[in-house]
Structure 1
Amino acid sequence: MENNDKITVEQCSQYYNIATSFLFDLDDHGLIVLTHEENTAYLDYGQLPLLEKYMRLHYDLLINMEGLEAISHLLKRVQLLHATIRHLGGEIPGY
């Protein structure tokens, strides 16, 4: 199978200069999804912006995994509320 749409955890770790354990921790906490094929873990390219966001929060702001989970949950709630407002025909100030 071709892997044009994903990157191995090891390649990703080397590219971003982060520990592979950080990627596995994000996966364990449900913040990203790693796929496994033939004893190799992969990350879809579509998840790279999400990974970069979590990297900035974790390494720049020193937010731990539990904090990342809380932030992710709250951002999803805000997006859901914005979608609901748009569906109801309302306007969202500042958007």
Structure 2
Amino acid sequence: MEVTDLISIKTLCTHYNVPPTFINELQDYELIEIVVSDNVNYIKTTQINEVEKMIRLHYDLNINLEGLDAVYNLLQRVENLQNEVTTLHNKLRLYEDL
């Protein structure tokens, strides 16, 4: 994986004003994946939006990490169900057009 697809945890923490331990705890709960390259910890740039959501939930709404894990997993399930509904709706529309 190229470093251009990664952002260092130090940079991320500085930008969002959060301690690096918070990011490490997110990994402990398997909410994000940390990539180590040349002894520097990174996260994938595709995970930045998810990390932003978790930062807001934790710091703005004071949701602890256990609650954050539950809320994040429920949000993922809702998103998956919305995608499934969209797919089924599109299939139904195909049959209605016949």
- Give the TM-score band, short-chain normalised: 0.7 to 0.9
Unaligned runs of 5+ in 2: 91-98
Partner residue, 1:73: 73
Matched residue of 2:71: which SS? helix
Aligned-pair Cα RMSD in Å: 1.7
1:16-73 CA-partner distances (Å, limit 9, x unpaired): 1110000000111111111112321101111111111111000000001111111111
Higher fraction of helix: 2
Give the structure-2-normalised TM-score: 0.81
Aligned residues: 90
Give the structure-1-normalised TM-score: 0.84
* CA–CA distance in structure 2, aligned partners of residues 51 and 64 of structure 1: 15
Percent identity, aligned pairs only, is 38
Q: Which runs of 4+ in 1 moved over 3 A?
A: none
* CA–CA distance in structure 1, aligned partners of residues 20 and 85 of structure 2: 39
